[in-house]
Protein backbone atom coordinates (compact mmCIF):
# COMPACT_ATOMS: atom_id res chain seq x y z
CA UNK A 1 0.00 0.00 0.00
CA UNK A 2 1.28 3.47 -0.77
CA UNK A 3 2.50 5.71 2.09
CA UNK A 4 -0.18 7.35 4.24
CA UNK A 5 -3.14 7.04 1.87
CA UNK A 6 -5.61 7.41 4.72
CA UNK A 7 -3.95 10.61 5.85
CA UNK A 8 -4.32 12.08 2.37
CA UNK A 9 -7.89 10.83 2.16
CA UNK A 10 -8.71 12.56 5.45
CA UNK A 11 -7.66 15.83 3.82
CA UNK A 12 -10.04 15.20 0.93
CA UNK A 13 -12.89 14.44 3.34
CA UNK A 14 -12.62 17.99 4.69
CA UNK A 15 -13.14 19.44 1.21
CA UNK A 16 -16.19 17.49 0.01
CA UNK A 17 -19.40 15.92 1.20
CA UNK A 18 -19.27 12.09 0.98
CA UNK A 19 -21.57 12.07 -2.04
CA UNK A 20 -19.31 14.52 -3.87
CA UNK A 21 -16.10 12.94 -2.62
CA UNK A 22 -16.43 9.52 -4.24
CA UNK A 23 -15.84 9.55 -8.01
CA UNK A 24 -16.59 6.73 -10.44
CA UNK A 25 -13.50 7.13 -12.65
CA UNK A 26 -10.47 9.29 -13.34
CA UNK A 27 -11.14 12.16 -15.71
CA UNK A 28 -8.78 14.89 -16.97
CA UNK A 29 -11.17 17.52 -15.64
CA UNK A 30 -12.37 17.01 -12.07
CA UNK A 31 -15.22 19.48 -12.51
CA UNK A 32 -16.75 17.08 -15.05
CA UNK A 33 -16.19 13.91 -13.03
CA UNK A 34 -19.04 11.44 -12.54
CA UNK A 35 -19.94 10.66 -8.93
CA UNK A 36 -19.77 7.02 -7.84
CA UNK A 37 -23.32 7.15 -6.47
CA UNK A 38 -24.57 8.16 -9.92
CA UNK A 39 -22.81 5.27 -11.65
CA UNK A 40 -23.98 2.65 -9.16
CA UNK A 41 -27.54 3.88 -9.53
CA UNK A 42 -27.37 4.11 -13.33
CA UNK A 43 -25.94 0.60 -13.73
CA UNK A 44 -28.53 -0.98 -11.44
CA UNK A 45 -31.34 0.95 -13.16
CA UNK A 46 -30.03 0.03 -16.62
CA UNK A 47 -29.77 -3.68 -15.89
CA UNK A 48 -33.49 -3.89 -15.03
CA UNK A 49 -34.31 -2.83 -18.61
CA UNK A 50 -32.38 -5.67 -20.28
CA UNK A 51 -35.45 -7.89 -20.53
CA UNK A 52 -33.98 -10.42 -22.96
CA UNK A 53 -31.00 -10.98 -20.67
CA UNK A 54 -33.19 -11.24 -17.57
CA UNK A 55 -35.03 -14.04 -19.36
CA UNK A 56 -31.77 -15.90 -20.03
CA UNK A 57 -30.64 -15.52 -16.41
CA UNK A 58 -33.99 -16.82 -15.20
CA UNK A 59 -33.71 -19.94 -17.37
CA UNK A 60 -30.23 -20.67 -16.02
CA UNK A 61 -31.50 -20.13 -12.49
CA UNK A 62 -34.26 -22.71 -13.04
CA UNK A 63 -31.69 -25.14 -14.46
CA UNK A 64 -29.47 -24.69 -11.38
CA UNK A 65 -32.36 -25.29 -8.97
CA UNK A 66 -33.35 -28.40 -10.89
CA UNK A 67 -29.78 -29.74 -10.81
CA UNK A 68 -29.38 -29.15 -7.07
CA UNK A 69 -32.78 -29.89 -5.54
CA UNK A 70 -34.74 -31.50 -8.35
CA UNK A 71 -37.43 -28.84 -7.88
CA UNK A 72 -38.93 -26.77 -10.65
CA UNK A 73 -40.65 -23.39 -10.47
CA UNK A 74 -42.47 -21.22 -12.97
CA UNK A 75 -40.71 -18.81 -15.31
CA UNK A 76 -42.38 -15.69 -13.89
CA UNK A 77 -41.03 -16.38 -10.40
CA UNK A 78 -37.63 -17.10 -11.93
CA UNK A 79 -37.68 -13.75 -13.74
CA UNK A 80 -38.56 -11.92 -10.54
CA UNK A 81 -35.66 -13.59 -8.71
CA UNK A 82 -33.27 -13.03 -11.64
CA UNK A 83 -34.12 -9.34 -11.60
CA UNK A 84 -33.21 -9.10 -7.90
CA UNK A 85 -29.94 -10.91 -8.57
CA UNK A 86 -28.98 -8.63 -11.45
CA UNK A 87 -29.81 -5.49 -9.46
CA UNK A 88 -27.59 -6.77 -6.64
CA UNK A 89 -24.69 -7.45 -9.02
CA UNK A 90 -25.02 -4.04 -10.68
CA UNK A 91 -25.40 -2.20 -7.38
CA UNK A 92 -22.21 -3.60 -5.88
CA UNK A 93 -20.07 -4.13 -9.01
CA UNK A 94 -18.06 -0.94 -8.51
CA UNK A 95 -18.16 -0.54 -4.73
CA UNK A 96 -14.43 -1.29 -4.94
CA UNK A 97 -14.01 2.22 -6.33
CA UNK A 98 -14.84 3.50 -2.83
CA UNK A 99 -11.49 2.05 -1.71
CA UNK A 100 -9.15 4.83 -0.56
CA UNK A 101 -6.37 4.26 -3.11
CA UNK A 102 -8.79 4.27 -6.04
CA UNK A 103 -10.24 7.58 -4.89
CA UNK A 104 -6.74 9.07 -4.67
CA UNK A 105 -6.16 7.80 -8.21
CA UNK A 106 -9.48 9.25 -9.44
CA UNK A 107 -8.51 12.65 -8.02
CA UNK A 108 -4.98 12.60 -9.51
CA UNK A 109 -3.40 12.22 -6.07
CA UNK A 110 -2.20 8.61 -6.23
CA UNK A 111 0.85 9.00 -8.48
CA UNK A 112 2.18 11.91 -6.44
CA UNK A 113 1.74 10.12 -3.14
CA UNK A 114 2.83 6.66 -4.30
CA UNK A 115 5.78 7.19 -6.64
CA UNK A 116 6.98 3.60 -6.29
CA UNK A 117 3.55 2.07 -7.03
CA UNK A 118 2.81 0.85 -10.56
CA UNK A 119 -0.99 0.98 -10.27
CA UNK A 120 -3.90 0.95 -7.88
CA UNK A 121 -5.50 -2.38 -6.94
CA UNK A 122 -8.13 -3.30 -9.58
CA UNK A 123 -11.45 -2.00 -8.31
CA UNK A 124 -13.30 -5.16 -9.36
CA UNK A 125 -11.12 -7.17 -6.97
CA UNK A 126 -11.65 -4.53 -4.28
CA UNK A 127 -15.41 -4.91 -4.77
CA UNK A 128 -15.12 -8.63 -4.01
CA UNK A 129 -12.95 -7.85 -0.99
CA UNK A 130 -15.62 -5.50 0.35
CA UNK A 131 -18.43 -8.02 -0.07
CA UNK A 132 -16.49 -10.88 1.50
CA UNK A 133 -15.55 -8.73 4.49
CA UNK A 134 -19.07 -7.37 5.09
CA UNK A 135 -20.61 -10.78 5.60
CA UNK A 136 -24.05 -9.57 6.68
CA UNK A 137 -24.68 -8.49 3.06
CA UNK A 138 -24.26 -12.12 2.03
CA UNK A 139 -26.62 -13.29 4.79
CA UNK A 140 -29.33 -10.81 3.81
CA UNK A 141 -29.01 -11.55 0.09
CA UNK A 142 -29.15 -15.33 0.52
CA UNK A 143 -32.08 -14.93 2.92
CA UNK A 144 -33.99 -12.85 0.38
CA UNK A 145 -33.42 -15.39 -2.39
CA UNK A 146 -34.51 -18.22 -0.11
CA UNK A 147 -37.70 -16.34 0.79
CA UNK A 148 -38.36 -15.92 -2.93
CA UNK A 149 -38.26 -19.71 -3.38
CA UNK A 150 -34.68 -20.78 -4.04
CA UNK A 151 -33.21 -23.58 -1.97
CA UNK A 152 -30.50 -22.44 0.46
CA UNK A 153 -27.76 -24.20 -1.51
CA UNK A 154 -28.83 -22.57 -4.78
CA UNK A 155 -29.09 -19.18 -3.07
CA UNK A 156 -25.53 -19.61 -1.77
CA UNK A 157 -24.23 -20.74 -5.17
CA UNK A 158 -25.97 -17.78 -6.77
CA UNK A 159 -24.21 -15.40 -4.39
CA UNK A 160 -20.84 -16.82 -5.37
CA UNK A 161 -21.85 -16.53 -9.04
CA UNK A 162 -22.50 -12.85 -8.33
CA UNK A 163 -19.00 -12.47 -6.87
CA UNK A 164 -17.60 -14.10 -10.01
CA UNK A 165 -19.42 -11.60 -12.23
CA UNK A 166 -18.20 -8.67 -10.15
CA UNK A 167 -14.62 -9.98 -10.18
CA UNK A 168 -14.66 -10.58 -13.93
CA UNK A 169 -16.67 -7.71 -15.40
CA UNK A 170 -13.51 -6.00 -16.65
CA UNK A 171 -11.69 -9.22 -17.52
CA UNK A 172 -14.55 -10.82 -19.41
CA UNK A 173 -13.17 -10.20 -22.88
CA UNK A 174 -9.78 -11.59 -21.84
CA UNK A 175 -11.19 -14.76 -20.27
CA UNK A 176 -14.41 -15.47 -22.13
CA UNK A 177 -14.81 -19.04 -20.94
CA UNK A 178 -15.06 -18.67 -17.17
CA UNK A 179 -15.49 -22.42 -16.75
CA UNK A 180 -12.02 -23.04 -18.21
CA UNK A 181 -10.08 -21.00 -15.64
CA UNK A 182 -8.44 -23.93 -13.89
CA UNK A 183 -5.09 -22.15 -13.80
CA UNK A 184 -6.25 -18.95 -12.14
CA UNK A 185 -4.37 -18.59 -8.87
CA UNK A 186 -3.48 -15.71 -6.53
CA UNK A 187 0.05 -15.81 -7.95
CA UNK A 188 -0.95 -15.61 -11.62
CA UNK A 189 -3.42 -12.84 -10.88
CA UNK A 190 -0.97 -10.75 -8.89
CA UNK A 191 1.80 -11.25 -11.46
CA UNK A 192 -0.47 -10.33 -14.37
CA UNK A 193 -1.60 -7.16 -12.61
CA UNK A 194 1.88 -6.34 -11.21
CA UNK A 195 0.45 -6.16 -7.72
CA UNK A 196 1.85 -6.85 -4.28
CA UNK A 197 -0.25 -9.39 -2.35
CA UNK A 198 0.54 -7.38 0.79
CA UNK A 199 -1.37 -4.34 -0.49
CA UNK A 200 -3.91 -3.19 2.08
CA UNK A 201 -7.39 -2.28 0.86
CA UNK A 202 -9.16 0.35 2.97
CA UNK A 203 -12.77 1.53 2.83
CA UNK A 204 -13.41 4.63 4.92
CA UNK A 205 -16.71 4.55 6.82
CA UNK A 206 -18.08 7.40 4.67
CA UNK A 207 -18.66 4.87 1.85
CA UNK A 208 -22.03 4.09 3.45
CA UNK A 209 -23.41 7.48 2.36
CA UNK A 210 -22.88 6.44 -1.27
CA UNK A 211 -24.76 3.17 -0.77
CA UNK A 212 -27.59 4.79 1.19
CA UNK A 213 -28.14 7.46 -1.45
CA UNK A 214 -27.92 5.01 -4.37
CA UNK A 215 -30.43 2.56 -2.87
CA UNK A 216 -32.79 5.40 -1.96
CA UNK A 217 -32.81 6.58 -5.57
CA UNK A 218 -33.14 3.04 -6.90
CA UNK A 219 -36.07 2.19 -4.60
CA UNK A 220 -35.12 -1.47 -4.64
CA UNK A 221 -34.66 -4.14 -2.00
CA UNK A 222 -30.85 -4.23 -1.97
CA UNK A 223 -29.15 -5.55 1.19
CA UNK A 224 -27.03 -2.90 2.92
CA UNK A 225 -24.33 -3.44 5.58
CA UNK A 226 -25.60 -3.71 9.13
CA UNK A 227 -22.28 -2.52 10.51
CA UNK A 228 -21.30 0.93 9.26
CA UNK A 229 -17.63 1.11 10.18
CA UNK A 230 -14.56 1.11 7.98
CA UNK A 231 -13.57 -2.06 6.12
CA UNK A 232 -10.05 -3.39 5.54
CA UNK A 233 -8.59 -6.40 3.74
CA UNK A 234 -5.29 -7.48 2.22
CA UNK A 235 -5.13 -8.02 -1.51
CA UNK A 236 -3.84 -11.55 -0.92
CA UNK A 237 -7.10 -12.41 0.86
CA UNK A 238 -9.26 -11.38 -2.08
CA UNK A 239 -6.94 -12.99 -4.65
CA UNK A 240 -7.20 -16.24 -2.73
CA UNK A 241 -10.97 -15.94 -2.57
CA UNK A 242 -11.30 -15.28 -6.30
CA UNK A 243 -8.99 -18.18 -7.09
CA UNK A 244 -11.08 -20.54 -4.95
CA UNK A 245 -14.27 -19.37 -6.66
CA UNK A 246 -12.85 -20.06 -10.09
CA UNK A 247 -11.41 -23.40 -9.09
CA UNK A 248 -14.78 -24.52 -7.75
CA UNK A 249 -16.79 -23.20 -10.70
CA UNK A 250 -14.23 -24.16 -13.29
CA UNK A 251 -13.66 -27.57 -11.79
CA UNK A 252 -13.08 -29.96 -14.67
CA UNK A 253 -11.75 -33.43 -15.31
CA UNK A 254 -9.85 -34.53 -18.39
CA UNK A 255 -11.40 -37.50 -20.17
CA UNK A 256 -8.35 -39.73 -20.93
CA UNK A 257 -9.98 -41.24 -24.00
CA UNK A 258 -11.07 -38.10 -25.80
CA UNK A 259 -8.73 -35.68 -23.97
CA UNK A 260 -11.76 -33.43 -23.57
CA UNK A 261 -12.64 -31.46 -20.45
CA UNK A 262 -15.71 -32.55 -18.52
CA UNK A 263 -17.46 -30.82 -15.64
CA UNK A 264 -17.50 -32.70 -12.38
CA UNK A 265 -21.22 -32.37 -11.81
CA UNK A 266 -24.40 -30.94 -13.27
CA UNK A 267 -24.64 -28.24 -10.62
CA UNK A 268 -21.07 -27.06 -11.31
CA UNK A 269 -21.94 -26.74 -14.99
CA UNK A 270 -25.18 -24.91 -14.19
CA UNK A 271 -23.55 -22.56 -11.69
CA UNK A 272 -20.70 -21.80 -14.08
CA UNK A 273 -23.20 -20.99 -16.83
CA UNK A 274 -25.11 -18.66 -14.51
CA UNK A 275 -21.88 -16.95 -13.43
CA UNK A 276 -20.85 -16.36 -17.02
CA UNK A 277 -24.28 -15.02 -17.98
CA UNK A 278 -24.25 -12.62 -15.02
CA UNK A 279 -20.79 -11.47 -16.08
CA UNK A 280 -21.67 -10.49 -19.62
CA UNK A 281 -25.04 -9.00 -18.61
CA UNK A 282 -23.20 -6.84 -16.06
CA UNK A 283 -20.60 -5.91 -18.67
CA UNK A 284 -23.35 -4.68 -20.99
CA UNK A 285 -25.18 -2.72 -18.28
CA UNK A 286 -21.93 -1.22 -16.99
CA UNK A 287 -20.95 0.06 -20.42
CA UNK A 288 -24.42 1.36 -21.21
CA UNK A 289 -24.55 3.22 -17.89
CA UNK A 290 -21.16 4.79 -18.61
CA UNK A 291 -22.16 6.25 -22.00
CA UNK A 292 -22.39 9.77 -20.61
CA UNK A 293 -18.65 9.79 -19.91
CA UNK A 294 -17.80 9.92 -23.60
CA UNK A 295 -14.38 9.28 -25.10
CA UNK A 296 -12.50 10.81 -22.14
CA UNK A 297 -13.04 7.71 -20.01
CA UNK A 298 -9.69 5.85 -19.82
CA UNK A 299 -11.52 2.63 -18.87
CA UNK A 300 -13.54 2.69 -22.08
CA UNK A 301 -12.71 -0.28 -24.29
CA UNK A 302 -13.26 -1.27 -27.90
CA UNK A 303 -16.01 -3.58 -26.70
CA UNK A 304 -17.76 -0.65 -25.01
CA UNK A 305 -18.19 1.04 -28.38
CA UNK A 306 -19.60 -2.19 -29.84
CA UNK A 307 -22.11 -2.51 -26.99
CA UNK A 308 -23.17 1.11 -27.41
CA UNK A 309 -23.57 0.67 -31.16
CA UNK A 310 -25.69 -2.46 -30.76
CA UNK A 311 -27.96 -1.12 -28.04
CA UNK A 312 -28.18 2.42 -29.36
pLDDT at 23 over 50: yes
Which of 160, 136, 89, 133 is closest to 238 using CA atoms?
133
pLDDT at 148 over 90: yes
Distance of alpha carbon 186 from alpha carbon 240, whole angstroms: 5
Q: What is the pLDDT of residues 246-294, one digit of tens each?
A: 666 654 444 545 545 455 567 788 888 898 899 989 989 998 888 766 5
Burial 221-249 (b: 16+ CB within 10 A, else e): ebbebeeeeebebbbebbbebbbebbeeb
Whether the CB-CB separation of 169 and 282 falls below 8 Å is answered with yes
Angle of the 75-92 helix axis to the 207-218 helix axis, nearest 10: 150
Which one is predicted more confidently, 106 or 174? 106
- Residue 270's pLDDT is 85
Whether the CB-CB separation of 233 and 116 falls below 8 Å is answered with no
- Residue 276's pLDDT is 86
**Residue 305 banded pLDDT, cuts 50, 70, 90:** low
- Residue 250's pLDDT is 55
Distance of alpha carbon 116 from alpha carbon 118, whole angstroms: 7
- Residue 188's pLDDT is 66
- Residue 292's pLDDT is 66
pLDDT at 83 over 90: yes
Distance of alpha carbon 252 from alpha carbon 184, whole angstroms: 13
**Residue 41 banded pLDDT, cuts 50, 70, 90:** very high
Half-sphere exposure of 206 (CA within 13 A, CB side): 20
Question: At a CB cut-off of 8 Å and minimum separation 6, what does 172 contact?
Answer: 279, 280, 283
Please give the mean pLDDT across all residues of the chain. Answer: 82
Average pLDDT over residues 228-233: 92
- Residue 309's pLDDT is 60
Distance of alpha carbon 248 from alpha carbon 164, whole angstroms: 11
Average pLDDT over residues 138-150: 95
Residue 278 to residues 222, 255, 291: CA-CA distances in angstroms?
A: 17, 28, 20
Which one is predicted more confidently, 293 or 126? 126
pLDDT at 237 over 60: yes
By the 10 Å C-beta count (0-12 exposed, 13-18 middle, 19+ buried), 72 is classed as exposed
CATH of domain 5-20+32-311: 1.10.3210.30
User: Which residue ranges make up each domain of the chain?
Assistant: 5-20+32-311
% of the chain surpassing 70 pLDDT:
76
- Residue 253's pLDDT is 45
Amino acid sequence: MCPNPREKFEELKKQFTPSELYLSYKTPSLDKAEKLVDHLYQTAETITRLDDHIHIASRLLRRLEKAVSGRDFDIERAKRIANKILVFVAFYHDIGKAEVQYQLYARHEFEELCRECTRTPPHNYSSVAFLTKVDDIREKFIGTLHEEGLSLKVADLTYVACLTAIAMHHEYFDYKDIAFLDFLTPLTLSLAKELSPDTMLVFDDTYIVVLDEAVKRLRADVPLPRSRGSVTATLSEVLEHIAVIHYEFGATLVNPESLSLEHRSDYVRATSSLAEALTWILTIADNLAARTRGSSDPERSFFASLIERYYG
